[in-house]
C-alpha cells in the first residue's frame, strides 16, 4: 500500500487482559477443589472472558485509551483507525494492522 511497511498484530487473550466492570459470579468448574467441601461457593470474576456481554466494549476502551496515551489520534470518520505522524493503525476486534513509512517506525510502534 503506497510503499508503506506493514505489520500485523494479534492480541493473544485480549479480553482476559481487561478488568470486569460489574460483579459476575460463576460456579466452580468440575474438578476445581475449594477449601472445605466447596458446596455453596461461587467464584467472582476479576478479568473478562470471551462471550461476556461487556467484554468487547471493555477491551475496546482499554486498547483505544492505550493508543491515545501513546499519542495516537482517533479518526472521526472511522473509529477503528488511529494515526500518529506517519504511522497508521487499523484495529479489528483483537487484531491490528500497522502502516508506516519505515520498518523501524512500524516495529517500534
pLDDT of residue 11: 85
Is the alpha carbon torsion for 52, 53, 56, 61 positive or negative?
negative
pLDDT, tens digit only, all 109 positions of the chain: 578 888 888 888 888 888 888 898 888 888 877 776 556 778 888 888 888 888 888 888 888 999 999 999 999 999 999 999 889 999 998 889 999 887 777 777 6
Q: Which three cell numbers stand for residue 100?
A: 508506516
Q: How many CA atoms lie within 13 Å of 23's alpha carbon, on the beta-carbon side?
A: 1
Dihedral angle over CA of 14, 16, 21, 27, nearest 10: 150
pTM of the predicted structure, to 2 decimals: 0.75
Amino acid at each position: 500500500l503506497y510503499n508503506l511497511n506493514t505489520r500485523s498484530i494479534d492480541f493473544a487473550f485480549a479480553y482476559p487482559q481487561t478488568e470486569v466492570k460489574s460483579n459476575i459470579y460463576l460456579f466452580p468448574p468440575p474438578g476445581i477443589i475449594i477449601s472445605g467441601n466447596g458446596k455453596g461457593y461461587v467464584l467472582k470474576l476479576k478479568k473478562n472472558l470471551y462471550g461476556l456481554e461487556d467484554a468487547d466494549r471493555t477491551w475496546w476502551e482499554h486498547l483505544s485509551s492505550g493508543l491515545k496515551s501513546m499519542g495516537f489520534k482517533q479518526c472521526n470518520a472511522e473509529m477503528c483507525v488511529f494515526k500518529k505522524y506517519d504511522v497508521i493503525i487499523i484495529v479489528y476486534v483483537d487484531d491490528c494492522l500497522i502502516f508506516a513509512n519505515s520498518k523501524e517506525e512500524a516495529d517500534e510502534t
